[in-house]
Structures are given as structure tokens and as C-alpha cells.
Amino acid sequence: MNDMLNILIIDDEADMGHLIEMYLGNSGFTCFLAESGVEAYGILGNNMIDLVILDIMMPDEDGFEVCSQIRKKSNVPIIFLSAKGEEWDKVKALQLGGDDYIVKPFSPGELIARINAVLRRTGGLKDDLDSVQIGQITIDKKARKVTVEGKQVTLTLKEYELLLFFYEHKNQALRREQLLEYIWGIDYTGSLRTVDTHIKTLRMKLGVGDYIQTVWGVGYKLEVPCE
């Protein structure tokens, strides 16, 4: 789907870097990890990188300085990550050449959506269909709209993200824990019943076919009819 686009993750916290790498790998991206600006410059100089995810709070060179150095040689899209949500930090990040700014904690679904939006805006997203078909269901990703047999269905944001995530991993058994972590985020403190409840309402709203199936002992999967 993403034509194996390359994303460079720059974060001095190795655990956070690997967590983001897992999320992006599940969505079809190839990831490179760097824990400092110096390491990042080497990767950028030796690899074709399509987008950079850059943490602000790092020792030695912070994210602002790293962004400034990257911008001297490259126009690669840059998304800042920060635990700080102050307006001045966002303004500074964008003035230095950042393309987006995400405040921690964030859900994996939000991160993927922001990445795709930046790539689409900068022309880096290849072969990304504006709409996809699941039997009688159409997902218009550009308008974030879902129709069933031509009639629009009103979904909540989480229901929409679930349906899109199912499509992106069609015919794969997905654990409830995986769905909870991806859609609601690693810091979400709710129970797995949240997933069950949202899938129940999603099924009711779609109302056609038996596309979202229960995989006993595992979780759920989306069975997509042969095209």
C-alpha cells in the first residue's frame, strides 16, 4: 500500500523508537532508527528517506537544531514529536521547516493518519487510493466517509479508524490487544471490552454481510470478498 516507503525515526529513547517502528512496520513502512542527530545525518546521507519523525527533547542537539541541519541539505518531510504542547514550540517547529507537530501521548492511528496526510501533501505517497471497496462497503479516505450500497453511514472516529485498520490488514486475524493499542494508544487505560463494544456497533451500522468476523481465542478479522 505504501510501496515500502522509508521513514527515519529520530528519538534518543530507544523504547519509544522501537514502539513507533512496530506501529509503522504494521502499516507497511520500512523504518530506520537514530538516537542522535549525528546518527541521523549518516542515515540520511546513505539512504533514500521519504519522511522523518523527529523528537524534540534530545541531549546534545535537540530536535529544533537537527531539523535546521537537515533543512540545509534536504526537503524531506519532517514530523515533530513532543511531550510539550505549547504554541510557541509548534510555531518554532513549523518555522524551522517542520511539516507537522504531534503531541505525546498519541494513538498509532493518529500517527499513521498524520504521516499519510503529510506524504500526500508533499507528493510522497504513492499508489494510495482515495477510496477502497469491501464488497458493498466503500471507504472514501479523502473525505473520511463510509457508504454502504451507496448510502452514507455515520461512524465515530474510532469506528472509522477500526474499519480502515481492518482493511489495511484484511484477511488477517488481529488480537484485541493489538486493536486496542493501535487505535486507542499505548497509554489507554480502558479494558478490552472497549474493542468489543466498538466492533459490535460498527457491525450494526454497516449492517451488510459478515465482513468483520470473530476469531475465537484470538480477536477479529476482516474477510474481504475476492475481487
Highest mean pLDDT, choosing among 89-98, 127-136, 178-187: 89-98
State the average pLDDT for the chain: 86
Using one digit for the tens of pLDDT, what is the confidence trace for 114-125? 888 888 777 665
- CATH code: domain 158-222 is 1.10.10.10
pLDDT digits (tens, 9 = 90+) for 153-206: 999 888 988 998 888 888 888 888 888 877 877 666 778 889 999 999 999 999
> 66 with 58: CB under 8 angstroms?
yes
For 8-38, what is each residue's pLDDT tens digit? Answer: 999 999 899 999 999 898 888 999 999 999 9
Q: Domain segments of the chain: what residues?
A: 6-122, 158-222
Using DSSP, state whether 47 is helix, strand or coil: coil
Predicted confidence (pLDDT) at residue 47 exceeds the cutoff of 60: yes
Do 8 and 40 meet the contact criterion of CB atoms below 8 Å apart? yes
Cβ 9 vs Cβ 132: under 8 Å: no
Cβ–Cβ under 8 Å, residues 186 and 226: no
State which CATH number among 3.40.50.300, 3.30.70.20, 1.10.630.10, 3.40.50.2300 fits the domain covering 6-122: 3.40.50.2300
Count of C-beta atoms within a 10 Å radius of residue 3: 12
Label residue 226 by pLDDT band (50, 70, 90): low
